[in-house]
Amino acid sequence: MSHQNHRVSLQAAFILHGRNFRDTSRLLDVFTQDYGRVTLVAKGARSARSRLQGILQSFSPLIISWSGKGEVQTLTGAESVKNSINLSGKQVMSGYYINELLQRLTTFHDPHPEIFTLYQNTLERFATDEDELVLRHFEKHLLTEIGYGLNLESDSEGGTAIDKNEKYYYDIEKGPVKVRNNNAEGEIIISGQTLLDMADEKFSCAQSQKEAKQLMRIILSHHLGDKPLKTRSLHWYKPL
Amino acid sequence: MSGSPLVNQLIEALRCLPGVGPKSAQRMAYHLLERERVAAENLSAVLAKAVNEVGHCELCRSLTERKVCDICESSNRDRTLLCIVESPSDVQVIEQSTDYKGLFFVLMGHLSPLDGIGPEDIGLDLLASRLDQGEVKEVVLATNFTIEGEATAHYISEMVNSRNIIASRIAHGVPVGGELEYVNSTTLSRAFSGRQNF
């Protein structure tokens, strides 16, 4: 970003993560519609008189303004948009997961309006659709938008269409490869049905849902590198 | 800045307090040294003693210099009620402003997945064994009304419900003396969805 003072007003945004900063401020990692991720400081947001207290929460659609120069700029205004999204407890955990994916797979000041729309739709879909389905949809489209789109239509060796009755393994560089005599040693084997289901964004059976999750996990960890996702390393889903 | 290294060191040390910048740290240091020598000596003695002796209560994790704090030890409190709060200062405000007569459990924070803070880090393993003892009949969730506080409350409610204990959440809505026009939209919509018979 340039070092001249600049001012942005009334930008649609979501807060991905915030932490306390100095005595009464918050430092926010914000995902905006037209400017990508930006780091903003919300001065005085934690003081008792601040109007921002109830507004600056994750998963809540906001309209924000900011100004300043350099890496960390100053939030100058924020209001919540009507029809706020209400996530239930378990969905909040899923929400944190997609927030962490965005933090890890996108960089600051890199505009991604399509991913913004995807993110917003994903949060809204939590209200109506099954969580796992929503997460797989988000992961698949996020990968496509950042240039790592999946091949789910054809065998990467030979180019034939995926057969739902065959077994495949997924080569991260190339795509699905049909399993024949021991060429898939050490790979996760998935059925053709799973690949077709992922392309259609539905799950025909529990097995396909499980395989899709495993496959996504492997592909994502390839792109995420050595550092594991924090939201995955904690035991969220089995309470003590 | 003063010419004395020790005074400068004192000023620097005072800046660890919340809300204290260089200017107010300087005022405090000079005030203590010029006008309040006795009080300053008392402050340093008490501070040293407190830092050495105050630890966490074995039952509720709140601050105390004994093994078990006064509230947990008291015989005239309702031991079947357990209120979960995020910090020891929350215990203080609840004690001062409500007639709640049960016990407390202090998390010393909240779940925060993106910061890597999980259930064990806020003592939920301790809470689990406390619930397993069977004395507690109702858990009152009084974590903050932030997303993290709500997520924490939800997680604990699952722990509580799986043991057939009642979990309740403190109410939220329009503050007393508040005018609807000035209440933020999320609070107002929650106040409507949580309305009660009157």
Q: How many domains, chain A?
A: 2
- On whether both B26 and B93 belong to a single domain, the answer is no
CA nearest to B42, candidates B29, B52, B32: B32
- On whether both B49 and B93 belong to a single domain, the answer is no
Q: Residues with Cβ < 8 Å from B92, sequence gap 6 or more?
A: none
Percent over 90 (pLDDT), chain A: 45
Position A84 confidence tier, pLDDT thresholds 50, 70, 90: low
Position B8 confidence tier, pLDDT thresholds 50, 70, 90: very high
Q: Which domain holds residue B126?
A: 77-169
Write out pLDDT tens, residues A96-123. Answer: 999 999 999 999 999 999 999 999 999 9
Q: CATH code at B159?
A: 3.40.1360.10
- On whether both A173 and A226 belong to a single domain, the answer is yes
Write out pLDDT tens, residues A116-148. Answer: 999 999 999 988 888 889 999 999 999 999 999
Does residue B145 sit within a domain?
yes
Does residue B42 sit within a domain?
yes
- On whether both A182 and A106 belong to a single domain, the answer is yes
Give the domain-ending residue among A80, A95, A123: A80
Q: CATH code at A135?
A: 1.20.1440.120
Residue A104 near residue A111, CB atoms below 8 Å: no
Give the domain-ending residue among A45, A80, A115: A80
- On whether both B38 and B97 belong to a single domain, the answer is no
Compute the nearest-CA separation of B114 from chain A (Å): 6
Report how far residue B4's alpha carbon sits from residue B140's, in angstroms, rounded to the nearest whole number.
Answer: 53
- On whether both A43 and A106 belong to a single domain, the answer is no
Smallest Cβ distance to A239: which of B19, B146, B162? Answer: B162
Compute the nearest-CA separation of B158 from chain A (Å): 7
Compute the nearest-CA separation of A239 from chain B (Å): 6
Q: Which domain holds residue A164?
A: 86-240
Q: Is ipTM strictly over 0.95?
A: no
Residue-level pLDDT at A85: 73
Does residue B160 sit within a domain?
yes
Number of cross-chain residue pairs from A and B with Cβ atoms under 8 Å apart: 76
Average pLDDT, chain A: 87
Query: What average pLDDT score do residues A175-184 get?
Result: 80
- On whether both A73 and A101 belong to a single domain, the answer is no
Over 70: is that where the pLDDT of B186 sits? yes
Give the domain-ending residue among A54, A80, A106: A80
- Does the CA dihedral A67-A68-A71-A75 come out positive or negative? negative
- Residues of B within 8 A of A238 (CB-CB) are none
- On whether both B134 and B95 belong to a single domain, the answer is yes
Does residue B193 sit within a domain?
no
Report how far residue B107's alpha carbon sits from residue B115's, in angstroms, rounded to the nearest whole number.
Answer: 16
Q: How many domains, chain B?
A: 2
Smallest Cβ distance to B184: which of A54, A239, A240? Answer: A54
Does residue B104 sit within a domain?
yes
Q: Which residues of A touch B (CB under 8 A)?
A: 16-17, 19, 23, 51, 54-55, 57-60, 80, 82, 84, 88-90, 92-93, 96-97, 99-100, 103, 230-231, 233-236, 239-240
- On whether both A160 and A215 belong to a single domain, the answer is yes
Chain A interface includes B119 (CB < 8 A): yes
- On whether both A194 and A225 belong to a single domain, the answer is yes
Smallest Cβ distance to A99: which of B114, B162, B186? Answer: B114
Percent over 70 (pLDDT), chain A: 93
Smallest Cβ distance to B147: which of A90, A92, A239? Answer: A92
Q: CATH code at B45?
A: 1.10.8.420
- Residues of A within 8 A of B181 (CB-CB) are none
Position B93 confidence tier, pLDDT thresholds 50, 70, 90: very high
Residue B147 near residue A59, CB atoms below 8 Å: yes
- Residues of B within 8 A of A23 (CB-CB) are 18-19
- On whether both B81 and B127 belong to a single domain, the answer is yes
- On whether both B81 and B159 belong to a single domain, the answer is yes
